[in-house]
Structure 1
Amino acid sequence: MNWLAICGSLRRQSTNLAVLHAAARLAPPGIAVRVYSLAALPLFNPDLEAEMPAVVREWRAAVAAADGLLISSPEYAHGVSGVLKNALDWLVSGPEFVGKPVALLNASTRAEHAPAQLVEILRTMSGIVVESASLDLPLLGTQRDADAIVVDPSMTTLLQAALQNFAATIAAVV
């Protein structure tokens, strides 16, 4: 099984990115997690869809090849990050995302507006948000990297349970 992990932040030291790297290390056996950077994607422009840039074709192919998506993104000004929304906009007109299982891993228990907006966006795009695999982690302000998350038993327990639920849900759908 192959999962694609995407972060809505471009910060090198992003806690959301650290969560995804930790999830990749804690994934159940037999599951490969590829952490994918959205940094190279151009701003969405429907005029470019006829002759789609190579980086966009690669993004869409990566989503199509994944059995599921792990998304971790900050909340900016009570909303979904522009980086993540832009990446999702590039998927709207294609079939790559339709029916794709998604787990939302939130690095802050205080974010409430963006996760709800993201769920609405993903469901509108015909994605399957797996609630039992989605998780809010109390990492806001901790500056933890993936190593610190993986060695923290409270974080490891939560992440492993969510990832097991995600794997079981995908296996039941496939």
Structure 2
Amino acid sequence: MRLLALSGSLRARSSNGAVLRSALALHDGPATTADIGALPHFNPDLDGENATPPPPVAALRTAAAAADAILIVSPEYAHGVPGVLKNALDWLVSSGECVDKPTAVITASPFPTGGDHANAQLRETLRTMSADVIASACVEIPAIGPKVDPTTERITDEATLAGLRTALSHLTAEPAPAPAPAEA
């Protein structure tokens, strides 16, 4: 299953980047990480009828369309979603690439809440976009700092890695086939 990964942090040594890298290392399949820092500020005038979206927007949409599932890893800033991530989602709202796409949200925080406000906000935004938010694949990771090896910039905490494995298995599980219609 092809994953599109989005990080809500642009910091080079972000603990959420470490979560994303660790999750992708556990994924048994192809994955693409979108460069959402290159996106222009969302402006509907750049995306209206007969408009050609800016190249970074077109690249994001192409990557989202090609993915079988979307994995979002994000910090929480001031009890909310980082602006750069919300901007990326705004560019995907009306284009349809997220409709019915299995999607997981993982938030990590140095605080005991694990980024619960951002996690809830992202899930609501994604549901509004008609993404198929897989609740069992959404995770909040509290007290992230000591769980990251500063040298490898990967998660080393076994319980956290087990949680990421479980989340990925739920995100990438093949949907159950629809039951055959009953004959009358």
SS of residue in 2 equivalent to 1:90: helix
- Deviating 4+ runs (over 6 angstroms): none
Q: Secondary structure at the match of 2:40?
A: coil
Q: What TM-score do the two structures reach when normalised by structure 1?
A: 0.89
- Provide, for residues 2-31 of structure 1, a one-character-per-residue CA deviation record: whole Å limited to 9, x for no partner: 00110111111111111111011111x3x2
Q: Which residue of 2 aligns with 1:77?
A: 78
1:1-174 pair list within 5 angstroms: 1-27=1-27, 29=28, 31-49=29-47, 50-108=51-109, 109-110=112-113, 111-142=115-146, 144-145=148-149, 147=152, 149-168=154-173, 171-172=174-175
* 2:81 and 2:122 in contact (8 A); partners too: yes
Paired residue type of 1:4:
L
Q: Residues 100-159 of structure 1, C-alpha deviation per residue, up to 9 Å, x if partnerless? A: 111111113522222111111111110111111111223433372584645432222111
Unaligned runs of 5+ in 1: none
1:44-93: CA deviation from partner (whole Å, max 9, x where unpaired) = 01111112111110111001111111101111111111001000000111
TM-score (norm 2): 0.84
Question: Matched residues, percent identical?
Answer: 48
Distance in structure 1 (CA, Å) of the matches to 2:142 and 2:23: 15
CA RMSD of aligned residues (A): 1.9
Structure 2 CA distance for partners of 1:148 and 1:60, relative to 1, 3 Å: closer
Higher-Rg member (1/2): 2
> Whose RCO is larger (CA < 8 A, sep 6+)?
1
CA distance in 2, matches of 1:112, 1:150: 19
Aligned pair count?
170
2:180 corresponds to which residue?
A: none
Cα separation, 2, equivalents of 1:82 and 1:145:
27
Instruction: Give distance in 1, aligned partners of 2:123 and 2:170.
Output: 18
